């Protein structure tokens, strides 16, 4: 009775979570393939594993034709083809399970930490944290517990691989979903996320439920909820702002902590000109332009920030229009979709700036002036 083999197969069933019938079938297929490679092999043969005794036999119909050296051959196959095929099946099962969880946040333990590639043990499977998905100012140590974002499944040469990320914006979003019950329950929504991993992020939140402060819900009592997210991200700075359906108000909030005077929108070009007090200019732009970059990512608008001292107040123009050399010192006459006047300076010889839609207004204006002149 081969109890050692039977015990080994049962152990594989438990450790890898592969049904025993599948393990048994893979063993029989692997041994049969090895047997059929022999010169004297019988093409009608089949390999049978006895689940009660643990014995392996080569059978043809009811005749036992097991070779004398079959035990040695079985040991070799167990070390090579059999285990390789079981690992493939194990990976296929796990990746089928994890394939439905792409975008989730999971906790893992760092196994091998390298800048080029770090291995993270997720319990039943190891995942790859490649250099491109690591945060430059984070250091990973063996045995360390970290949360990661399930990014994708790759197909490298030796079988499928699960790839996780610490840089993805989905990690930040998922951490807030874990920490804020109102988000989990659907009472608060994360409408937009912009992140420069390891440095600073902006999160826009919104609630359709009256009486719920979405920003306060994400900050938590005495800042406990946002502090937990910041701690997991190794002190990454996080700005939480309230999403607004009005693009102008949303853009103004996205540039916080800077105060904004006015926002002028060109919806055709999806760009905004923002006027800020002179003492708020550096704050609005941020260190190396970081605050402005994040606001652009968060709102999906092009943003041009100008100090208040450069915004020339509108002065009523005479009703008749004639271009002159000083027209570049005038503010563009175009009216934006929000009813406000464009904050840009007019081009030389024109009362309008160079934005294409505003030049179209210039053509209409010129036609109107010429028509008025012909009527007279």
Domain boundaries, the chain: 3-99, 105-167, 181-243, 255-311, 325-375
Residue 327 has pLDDT above 60, yes or no: no
Rounded to an integer, what distance in angstroms lies between the CA atom of residue 242 and that of residue 372?
49
Confidence category of residue 155, pLDDT binned at 50, 70, 90: low
CATH, range 255-311: 3.30.300.20
The total of other beta-carbon atoms located within 10 Å of residue 205's CB is 24
Distance, in Å, from the CA atom of 213 to the CA atom of 230, rounded to the nearest integer, reads: 20
Task: Tell me if 351 sits within 8 A of 335, measured CB to CB.
Answer: no
pLDDT at 314: 41
- So what's the pLDDT on residue 350? 81
* pLDDT value of residue 132: 93
Buried b (16+ CB within 10 A) or exposed e, 131-147: eebbbeeeebeeeeebb
Least confidently predicted of 184-198, 289-303, 310-324? 310-324
Asked if the domains at 181-243 and 255-311 fall in one CATH topology, the answer is yes
> What was the pLDDT predicted at 159?
45
Residue 140: what are its φ and ψ, rounded to 5°?
-110, 135
The whole-angstrom separation of Cα 221 and Cα 200 is: 22
Query: What dotted CATH number matches 105-167?
Result: 2.40.50.140
Asked whether the bond before 257 is cis by omega within 30 degrees of 0, the reply is yes
Q: What is the pLDDT of residues 336-353, one digit of tens each?
A: 665 566 767 778 778 888
- pLDDT surpassing 80 at residue 203: yes
The second-level CATH assignment, the architecture, of 3-99 is 2-Layer Sandwich (3.30)
User: What's the CA gap between 205 and 202, in Å, rounded?
Assistant: 10
Lowest mean pLDDT among 15-19, 31-35, 205-209, 293-297: 15-19
- Has residue 293 got a pLDDT over 80? yes
Strand-pair category, 56-60 with 46-49:
antiparallel
Q: Domain 181-243 classified CATH 2.40.40.20? A: no
């Amino acid at each position: 009775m081969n109890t050692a083999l039977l015990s080994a197969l049962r152990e594989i069933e438990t450790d890898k979570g592969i049904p025993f019938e599948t393990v048994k079938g893979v063993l029989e297929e692997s041994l049969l393939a090895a047997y059929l490679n022999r010169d004297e092999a019988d093409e009608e043969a089949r390999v049978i594993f006895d689940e009660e005794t643990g014995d392996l036999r080569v059978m043809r119909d009811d005749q036992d034709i097991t070779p004398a050296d079959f035990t040695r051959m079985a040991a070799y196959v167990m070390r090579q083809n059999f285990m390789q095929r079981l690992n493939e099946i194990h990976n296929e099962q796990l990746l089928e399970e994890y394939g439905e969880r792409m975008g989730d946040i999971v906790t893992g333990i760092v196994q091998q930490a390298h800048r080029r590639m770090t291995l993270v043990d997720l319990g039943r499977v190891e995942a790859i944290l490649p250099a491109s998905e690591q945060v430059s100012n984070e250091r990973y140590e063996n045995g360390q517990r970290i949360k990661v974002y399930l990014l994708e499944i790759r197909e490298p040469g030796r079988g499928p691989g699960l790839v996780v990320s610490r840089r993805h914006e989905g990690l930040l979003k998922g951490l807030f979903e874990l920490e804020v019950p109102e988000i989990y329950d659907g009472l608060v929504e994360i409408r937009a996320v912009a992140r420069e991993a390891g440095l600073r992020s902006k999160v826009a939140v919104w609630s359709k439920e009256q009486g719920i402060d979405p920003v306060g819900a994400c900050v938590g009592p005495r800042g406990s909820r946002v502090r937990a997210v910041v701690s997991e991200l190794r002190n990454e700075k996080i700005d939480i702002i309230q999403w607004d359906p009005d693009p102008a108000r949303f853009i103004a909030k996205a540039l916080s902590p800077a105060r904004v005077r006015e926002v002028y929108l060109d919806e055709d070009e999806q760009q905004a000109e923002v006027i800020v007090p002179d003492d708020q200019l550096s704050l609005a732009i941020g260190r190396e332009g970081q605050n402005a970059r994040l606001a652009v990512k968060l709102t999906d608008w092009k943003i041009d920030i100008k100090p208040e001292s450069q915004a020339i107040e509108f002065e009523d123009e005479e009703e008749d229009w004639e271009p002159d050399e000083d027209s570049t010192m005038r503010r563009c006459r175009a009216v934006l979709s929000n009813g406000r006047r464009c904050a840009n300076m007019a081009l030389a010889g024109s009362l309008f700036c160079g934005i294409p839609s505003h030049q179209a207004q210039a053509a209409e204006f010129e036609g109107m002036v010429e028509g008025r002149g012909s009527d007279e």
